[in-house]
Amino acid sequence: MLVIASHAVPVLQNPVRLQEYGVGIFDLLVTKSALKKAVKKELILVNGTVGSTATFIKGGEQIELLASSRNSLARKLLLKLEVVYEDDYLAIINKPAGILVSGNSFKTVANALTQNLMPSQEADAVMPQPVHRLDYPTTGLLLIGKTSRSIMLLSKLFEEKKISKVYHAVTIKDMKRKGLLQYPVDDKAAESEFEVLQVIPSERFDFLNLVRLKPSTGRRHQLRKHLLALGNPILGDAVYALDDLILKGKGLYLHASELKFVHPLTKEELIIKCRLPKKFGKLFKIVL
């Protein structure tokens, strides 16, 4: 019996049937019909007991998804990942560009983790899974949980904004040297600090800027949207871009370069840094 994903239920105001609550909590079960099939095949555990259509979720439970012959095929994906940090509870990998973190596609970071990480020796070990996301074109540090407890605690750290993230990007056009961006994203408050570290002239883009970014909120595409709103979109961004100023074929110049947090189980303060991709070094003399 192999647990491939785990979900900690938050406090709920009212009990909800498992077949309603469970839709979308796992990347492999994003529809109601998929969830029903998993329940029927007895692949859903609630606090260690097989769930059913009669199971109510009240809050505080641990819901786990077991491997089946179908979803265990994902474990065979061969994709070399750079492991930056690892212990029995969690790991941090350097995500490559052009790959989804998770989802219904076969080629995802999530499906390649068992090929790259050491099995946890803890009693609540599960199939490793990412506890946050990076965009498809973004590179850099991605935090992975390897046990049920670590996944739950790391998710809580993110919710409580106790994990500090730093990114580096290359932006275009003349730019202020530092500042605080507070443009709403999807009608929700969003905040990002920025500091320009180096500037070089560019015939096409006027200037190229190496920028250090520190978001204090985690909205979808927040940094990309914030920099476009500032008038200095990220080099290589084909979505959040200025007309006729899109660099094609080089990918997005956005890299998750640092994670800082207190390990939820060992209580050690971790400051994990990741070198910038080679394409950054072709533009700037990088000393970080």
Kindly give, in sequence order, each residue whose CB lies less than 8 Å from that of residue 202, ignoring residues fewer than 6 positions away: 172, 208
Looking at 87, 88, 124, 135, which residue is catalytic?
135
Helix residue ranges, H only, 86-147: 109-116
Q: Is 234 exposed, middle or buried (0-12, 13-18, 19+ CB in 10 A)?
A: buried
Per-residue exposure over 243-260, b if at least 16 CB sit within 10 Å of its own CB, e if not: eeeebeeebbbbbbbbbe
Structure tokens at 264: 């939820």
- Alpha-carbon distance 80 to 99, whole Å? 12
Q: Examine the residue annotation and report whether 243 is marked as an active-site residue of this protein.
A: no
Active site residue ranges: 135
